[in-house]
A and B are shown apart, each in its own frame.
Chain A
Amino acid sequence: MTRPEMADETLFLLLHNEMVSGLYRAAEHGEGENGRCITKLENMGFRVGQGLIERFTKDTARFKDELDIMKFICKDFWTTVFKKQIDNLRTNHQGIYVLQDNKFRLLTQMSTGKQYLEYAPKYLAFTCGLVRGGLSNLGIKSIVTAEVSAMPACKFQVMIQKM
């Protein structure tokens, strides 16, 4: 039972890395400015997040409130995608949530510490979109950003837009 799980985790990791480098290579060959790559990655994550959340919430009970939804993202959603939970969830109860992952699966292969820190944002854009897409399908408009101070720990900040 563990063998198939290992395979798909590595598959996603490698595919994700290729996706990032592929997009940047295409940008270098003149298909638009460099700044758009992060947006493209985020939009990809958005669409994937929408589909994923539909599949994951198919059998779960209805969510009570926003906090319930954020907890679902931190526990079940993160576990299914990255095989671990979010380590820390903080909120100011006014629509800002900070999700802290101390060992983010997509960054562990890169470094532990400050090496390659400047490249980290590229590899977080897809996941930001993933969270934003998932939340959007659950009825929450948000802006998701990520920051890394020391690899492989990173923080995702979710700002809920009140409509």
Chain B
Amino acid sequence: MAVCIAVIAKENYPLYIRSIPTENELKFHYTVHTSLDVVDEKISAMGKALVDQRELYLGLLYPTEDYKVYGYVTNSKVKFVMVVDSSNTALRDNEIRSMFRKLHNSYTDVMCNPFYNPGDCIHSRAFDNMVTSMMMQVC
């Protein structure tokens, strides 16, 4: 179950960020912001180290005492960041991967929506619903 999901544009500003519970929103904003550095590091390291550079999924970015942060970068340099509760140890790697795939699919749909201008914040309700379903899987 994800606690916070964020979509960051290639210029590193958030296109969409949502977290539950909504009280500590600022803390999640901060967490996502700091994880961007780790994402950039991983992408640039890929170019030189020849380690798994073909994959879009970045894996675990860094763990904190309460949360784990996962990253995924699309070919259009849009980043998806997911913050997951550490206590939820049942969540495996391939489940996270499939959640990112669903995110990517929904993001592609948003992109192809004629009412959406690339670079704007995402207001699509369909996208919202998909994110809600991911955040409330285990309740």
Contacts and interface: CB of A to CB of B under 8 A. Distances in A.
A93 interface: no
A157 to B, nearest CB: 23
Give the interface centre of A60, A64, A137 by most chain B CB atoms within 10 Å.
Answer: A137
Contacts of B56: 61-62
B10 A61 contact: no
A55 interface: yes
B77 A139 contact: yes
Contacts of A137: 76, 118
A61 B108 contact: no
| Consensus secondary structure, chain A interface | loop
Contacts of B77: 138-139
A51 B75 contact: no
Interface in B82-121: 104-105, 107-108, 111-112, 118
Given A62-B46, A138-B75, A54 B53 contact: no
Instruction: For chain B, give the interface size range.
Output: 10 to 19
B53 A62 contact: yes
Contacts, number: 45
A63 B77 CA distance: 11
A53 B76 contact: yes
B10 A58 contact: no
A10 interface: no
B40 interface: no
A55 B112 contact: yes
Contacts of B10: 139
Give the interface centre of B73, B104, B118 by most chain A CB atoms within 10 Å.
Answer: B118
A50 B74 contact: no
A105 B95 CA distance: 43
A57 interface: yes
Contacts of A47: 118
Contacts of A50: 111, 118
Nearest to A52: B112
B41 interface: no
A51 B74 contact: no
Give the interface centre of B55, B76, B104 by most chain A CB atoms within 10 Å.
Answer: B76
Contacts of B104: 58
Contacts of A54: 74, 76, 107-108, 111-112
Give the interface centre of A50, A57, A62, A137 by most chain B CB atoms within 10 Å.
Answer: A62
B75 A57 contact: yes
Interface of A: 47, 50-51, 53-55, 57-58, 60-64, 137-139
12 contacts: A53-B75, A53-B76, A54-B76, A54-B108, A54-B111, A54-B112, A55-B111, A58-B104, A61-B54, A61-B56, A62-B54, A139-B76
Given A58-B74, A58-B108, 7 more contacts: A54-B76, A54-B108, A55-B112, A57-B75, A62-B54, A62-B75, A64-B47
